[in-house]
Amino acid sequence: MINTEGMVAETAAKIYTDLCGREVPHKAEAGEYPQALWNALTENGLPLAWVSEANGGFGAELDEVVGAIWASAQAASPVPFAETLVANWMLDRAGLAPADSSASFAISGRTPSADIPFGMHADKIVLFDETHQEISLFDNRLAVRSPEAALSPDGMTQFIFSGHVAEQSARTSLSRRAVEAMILTVRAVQMAASMETALNLSIDYVSQREQFGRPLSKFQAIQHQLAVAASECAAATMAATQAASAIIRHSDDPEQAWHEAVIAKVQIGHSVEAVTVPFHQVHGAMGYTQEYDLHHHTRRLWAWRDALGNEHHWSKMLGAELALTSPDQIWKGVTTGHWVAS
Amino acid sequence: MQRFNFPVIQPDPALEELRADLQAFLKQERDAGNFKPEPECWMASADPEFSRKMGKRGWIGLTWSSQYGGHDKSALERYIVTEETLRAGAPVGAHWIADRQHAPMLLKHGTEEQKLDILPRIAAGECYFAIGLSEPGAGSDLANVKTKAEKVADGWKINGQKIWSSGAHISHYMVALLRTSPADGRNRHVGLSQIMIDLSLPGVTIKPIVDLSGDAHFNEVYFEDVIVPEDCLLGEEGGGWAQVTGELAMERSGPERFLSSYITLETALWQLSGKLGSDSQARLGKLIANLRTLRGMSWAIANLLDQGVSPETEAALVKDLGNRLENDLTQQVRAMLDDLPSDQWSPDMRRIMNIGVLRSPPNTLRGGTTEVMRGIIARQLGLR
């Protein structure tokens, strides 16, 4: 269960309730960016929640913030709130000041470009450069941005880093695995929240829609599809909770949370098809329309499962790592969550 | 507001000491040739001698008071014991059911005399129980039970038949759901009661049913004018339905719902050490992600139960997901074993894999079928 108590989570939940009703993601997609929502988040300092006090943030506990991310994903946030949180966390971990506006992030190793979520809306891009062990801040507004045929309404943009001068840059003690652990955990929380919201939409829809003289919810074929989807949603919540718990426990050394974060990615990534198929199926053609809300969640789920490598990529990464350890170590990890890097 | 409640529990070092003791014992027993590991060991591998050894070490009856032969420990310690024995594929089938559900039932509903007599024997690994729910005409439709108990001068007179009773042939008692008064019109949930039956009484006939692999671990049990004392009624007369469904909800989330086939994976991992191809590594990664997640769910429920909360929906979800995972695990391991030519498989590997395949059908049947689970989940979602 994701902790949704505490000032940060409750403030974020209230802002999303007040300023991100069901019409807001629709309007955002039609080009009406919800500036009021973004302003409310920044006026309350929420994108700085994970920034240390020394760096101008308020150094909130990690678990107070995951509840805020849950609230944002429930509302199908059309502003890069979670992305800015992560970007600012990365900057902070390099001793850099947080971004003064919205931001997104990328990890780069050998390639000069990266897929950036919210690439068209985030003002800044924070890059983790593994080769130089550096965190850099780029101005996204100056970049040549190429919106691809994106799965998600938030868009995915190619950013060519070579030839651009970073506004700030500093060495970081964060390892690639530490950055991956954080990003995968945040995504897991978003995905679990989004799945649960789409489940709720589906339950409401089948309870109201009548065919053959009775609500769809009374058909066993419908009940069983949604029961299976619900179990996948519950597992997603568990996996996200476990990952969040690991990163909270290891906030000084997030690399230690890598296995639990990857497990969440693999578990939830594989569940996306198992939930989005029945959600769309029970909605019939209505769920395929732009007018209806379901796609605000299902399209984000399809995009998020691909982000930073899809579930197949991460299954291989995890399996390759586990193949180097003994079955005794694997069992220890399964039962205690204590994983040893090979 | 989140729909599902799965709290995360921080690791407890005391539990890990218990785990280490279990692992050492199980390794020693296996190395000494005292058991051969098997999938589905909690249902199909019964060895009274092994149960007595577990009892001597204090690993049965962990949760109840020492006054009744128990060990005053929490449900979490019991969980560690169960998951370690499942992992090892140890022959725990004789005492499993008595330890899991009938001892708690006796603690709640039994007379002082019954508790003092029976519970210490269960904890010693010497007294076994069988479940008496299904009948030829009552499977998923459990409320259709016809076996009757009539009130007579010296107790209850029982007539009828139970079926699919695992371990009845080695059990000392059965707790049966019986009709003690007629249904109230269409409401068949009234008039059902739970009664404990000494299986050595005259009029009890136990006939083994042979499963598709040739094993005989479940039975038909016939009752012909069997008289049990009045105090063998457990709980309320007529309250059997609520008691049974409540118990079923409690036992659906245990580790036996998703770890029954783990021995197959672990045996394969030892075999395939250093030989796993990339396709197999991906399968391993996914399986472990699924197992870790389900373990988290099941463990969270164990903690809630320990605190007196009974999360029925979550338990049904775990059973449905877990049973699917157990069967999927066997299939994934079959695929992974393609990395090793079959003439290089150890005899243990082949034996365990084959047993795993042969014992897979009941996973999604016992304790409530997949279809029944999905019905329960759907009701909880507000769809029924």
| A203 part of contact set with chain B, CB < 8 Å | yes
Give me the residue from A224, A262, A319 closest to B282, CB to CB. Answer: A319
Tell me whether residues B374 and A224 touch, CB distance under 8 A: yes
pLDDT digits (tens, 9 = 90+) for B139-163: 999 999 999 999 999 999 999 999 9
- How far is residue A326's CA from residue B20's CA, in Å, rounded to a whole number? 16
- Which residues from A are below 8 Å from B273, CB to CB? 326
Give me the residue from B281, B300, B383 closest to A323, CB to CB. Answer: B281
Give me the residue from A226, A312, A315 closest to B383, CB to CB. Answer: A226
Q: What is the three-class DSSP state of B55?
A: helix
| A222 part of contact set with chain B, CB < 8 Å | yes
| B293 part of contact set with chain A, CB < 8 Å | yes
| B195 part of contact set with chain A, CB < 8 Å | no
- How far is residue A262's CA from residue A182's CA, in Å, rounded to a whole number? 10
- Non-local CB neighbours of B109 within 8 Å, separated by 6+ positions: B194, B234, B235, B243
Q: Which residues of chain A have pLDDT under 70?
A: 109-114, 143-149
- How far is residue A83's CA from residue A95's CA, in Å, rounded to a whole number? 19
Nearest residue of A to residue B268, measured between CA atoms? A327
Q: What is the three-class DSSP state of B87?
A: helix
Q: Where are the alpha helices (DSSP H) in chain B?
A: 13-31, 41-44, 48-56, 75-88, 93-97, 103-109, 112-123, 240-251, 262-271, 278-306, 312-336, 347-358, 370-380
pLDDT digits (tens, 9 = 90+) for B86-110: 999 999 999 999 999 999 999 999 9
| B283 part of contact set with chain A, CB < 8 Å | yes
pLDDT at position A147 is 59
| A26 part of contact set with chain B, CB < 8 Å | no
Q: Long-range pairs for B207-212 at CB < 8 Å and ≥24 separation? A: B208/B169, B209/B163, B209/B164, B211/B358, B212/B358, B212/B361
- How far is residue B179's CA from residue B182's CA, in Å, rounded to a whole number? 7
Q: Which residues of chain B have pLDDT under 50?
A: none
- How far is residue B55's CA from residue B60's CA, in Å, rounded to a whole number? 5
Q: Where are the alpha helices (DSSP H) in B170-211?
A: none
Give me the residue from B282, B296, B384 closest to A315, CB to CB. Answer: B282
- How far is residue B162's CA from residue B133's CA, in Å, rounded to a whole number? 7
- How far is residue A64's CA from residue A45's CA, in Å, rounded to a whole number? 14
Other C-beta atoms lying within 10 Å of the C-beta of residue B14: 12
Give me the residue from A1, A227, A228 closest to B5, CB to CB. Answer: A1
User: What is the model's pTM?
Assistant: 0.96
Determine contact, residues A291/A285, Cβ cutoff 8 Å: no
- Which residues from B are below 8 Å from A4, CB to CB? 1-2
CATH architecture of structural domain A176-336: Up-down Bundle (1.20)
The C-alpha torsion from B261 through B267 and B269 to B273, rounded to 10°, is -170
Query: Which residue, A27, A44, A144, A142, is CA-closest to A84?
Result: A44
Domains, in order of start, for chain B: 13-127 (1.10.540.10), 131-243 (2.40.110.10), 252-380 (1.20.140.10)
Q: Which of A10, A216, A231 best probes binding to B when mutated, by most B CB atoms within 10 angstroms?
A: A231
A176-336 and A7-171 share a CATH fold: no
| A16 part of contact set with chain B, CB < 8 Å | no
The CA distance from A278 to the nearest CA of chain B, in Å, is 14
Tell me whether residues B317 and A234 touch, CB distance under 8 A: yes
Measured in whole angstroms, how far is the alpha carbon of residue A253 from the centre of its chain?
Answer: 20
The CA distance from B314 to the nearest CA of chain A, in Å, is 8
- Non-local CB neighbours of B343 within 8 Å, separated by 6+ positions: none
The CA distance from A150 to the nearest CA of chain B, in Å, is 27
Tell me whether residues A270 and B286 touch, CB distance under 8 A: yes
Tell me whether residues B288 and A330 touch, CB distance under 8 A: yes
Interface of B with A in 320-379 (CB under 8 A): 320-321, 371, 373-375, 377-378
The secondary structure element, H or E, covering residue A276 is helix A258-283
pLDDT digits (tens, 9 = 90+) for A202-261: 999 999 999 999 999 999 999 999 999 999 999 999 999 999 999 999 999 999 999 999
In angstroms, the Cα distances linking B73 to A81, B53, B112, B295, B308 are: 46, 19, 21, 21, 15
The interface pTM score, or ipTM, of the predicted complex is 0.96
Q: Which of A262, A330, A335, A339 best probes binding to B when mutated, by most B CB atoms within 10 angstroms?
A: A335
In angstroms, the Cα distances linking A105 to A34, A86, A117, A158, A188 are: 21, 7, 8, 12, 16
Determine contact, residues B194/B235, Cβ cutoff 8 Å: yes
| B19 part of contact set with chain A, CB < 8 Å | yes
CATH class, A7-171 region? mainly alpha
- Which residues from A are below 8 Å from B314, CB to CB? 234
Quote the percentage of chain A above a pLDDT of 70.
96
- Which residues from A are below 8 Å from B381, CB to CB? 203, 226-227, 230
The CA distance from A335 to the nearest CA of chain B, in Å, is 7
Interface of B with A in 231-270 (CB under 8 A): 266, 269-270
Interface of A with B in 61-80 (CB under 8 A): 70
- How far is residue A72's CA from residue A101's CA, in Å, rounded to a whole number? 18
| A228 part of contact set with chain B, CB < 8 Å | yes
pLDDT at position A143 is 67
| A17 part of contact set with chain B, CB < 8 Å | no
The CA distance from B94 to the nearest CA of chain A, in Å, is 25
Tell me whether residues A245 and B8 touch, CB distance under 8 A: yes
Give me the residue from A70, A311, A319 closest to B283, CB to CB. Answer: A319
pLDDT at position A110 is 47
Other C-beta atoms lying within 10 Å of the C-beta of residue A210: 12
Q: Where are the domains of chain A?
A: 7-171, 176-336
Tell me whether residues A223 and B293 touch, CB distance under 8 A: no
| A274 part of contact set with chain B, CB < 8 Å | no
| B5 part of contact set with chain A, CB < 8 Å | yes
